[in-house]
A and B are shown apart, each in its own frame.
Chain A
């Protein structure tokens, strides 16, 4: 199964190379001012990849170390993703005073319900008890994926409901995280069921593939154009003021 090895190698390396392009684009467009946490996330993911790749390639005897570093970096990565979602939320609603407070309250309730759902559904629906580290990790990962999916869905649906201005790149960042979280939900759910080594390796393709798609979405939306309008050309500012004054006089 040479091709699986090649494919998994490609899916591990390629998204991180593309992430470097995303990082450069973010810097060039000065989006690090508006999205500092996302920029940190992108650089962090690149650094994490370098560390894990180095440990993996130095020899099979480093497997324990690899797993430990993987766990720590995964925890930080998850925390950063929550930070990015909060950042998108702040950028989306900052200009709309009344809607901002409504959105904050709704987001708090949504988070509460998602947290409750992530904890209670597995306990009451299946009476599942975990008995090893991988199963615990899968249980936790699945819960986190549910919460992240729900939050991204909330952001996209809420902004659509109120017709908010969501710039292409902001929508792209949220969409990328949404797709990534739904892939991770499927991944952790399957891992919680217990897998053989070969199936677990095959499942890695799903996560790395999902990550690749998310990076491509970020990259695509960074290049996507904004909405344009058929607007009057050649109207001077003075003329505009004149018309405004006339209209205000007319409306009085």
Chain B
């Protein structure tokens, strides 16, 4: 392949990637439903159990080494699916928070800023957890580090979204007639 063809091919691929990124960009009306349905599909307690170092230590003490390796690997793969879902939830939180930031109501805009910042942190931790779980699946003998900060951040983000839910409910509720 001549150098000219090589560079022109790279340029065409790059232009195509830029176009793809522009087309794939989601702009328009955003609702909380995507985040809600993803949250509904995530069994956070099961995930917590799968990555619990104490649970691992208990299994290691009960099972023969070979069997423990197999089970640890399976647990890591199962936990990876949860981590990926959590990653997607973080992206949905982020989209939602960023859209809410444009609200004319300063309180809602501030809530949006908090949701977006928390979501970016959650995404960072979820990606970090994904990498760790891959390592854990590849090398089951390595000790598992706790993912406590990930669960804490998820709890924080979910509580921020709960605030927004309350507001939604307040809007839908008809005003009570006065008894006086």
Residues of A bordering B, CB below 8 Å: 95-96, 98-99, 102, 122, 125-126, 128, 142, 145-146, 149, 152-153, 156-157, 160-165, 168, 171, 175, 178-179, 181-183, 185-186, 188-190, 192-193, 224-235, 237, 239-241, 243-244, 246-247, 251
Contact = CB atoms under 8 A, between A and B. Distances in A.
B119 interface: yes
Instruction: Report whether over half of chain B's contact residues are helix, strand or loop; otherwise say mixed.
Output: helix
Interface of B: 2-4, 6-8, 10-12, 14-15, 17-19, 21-22, 25-31, 90-91, 93-103, 105-108, 113, 116-117, 119-121, 123-124, 127, 159, 162-163, 166-168, 170-171
A189 B123 contact: no
Nearest to A171: B25
A168 B27 contact: yes
A142 B3 CA distance: 11
Given A95-B113, A193-B3, 8 more contacts: A161-B123, A163-B95, A181-B14, A185-B14, A224-B27, A228-B30, A229-B29, A240-B107
Contacts of B6: 125, 189
A168 to B, nearest CB: 7
B102 A246 contact: no
A190 B120 CA distance: 42
B120 A232 contact: no
A227 B7 CA distance: 37
Nearest to B22: A175
A186 B116 contact: no
B146 to A, nearest CB: 19
Contact of B29 (A98, A190, A230): A230
B96 A229 contact: yes
Contacts of B2: 193
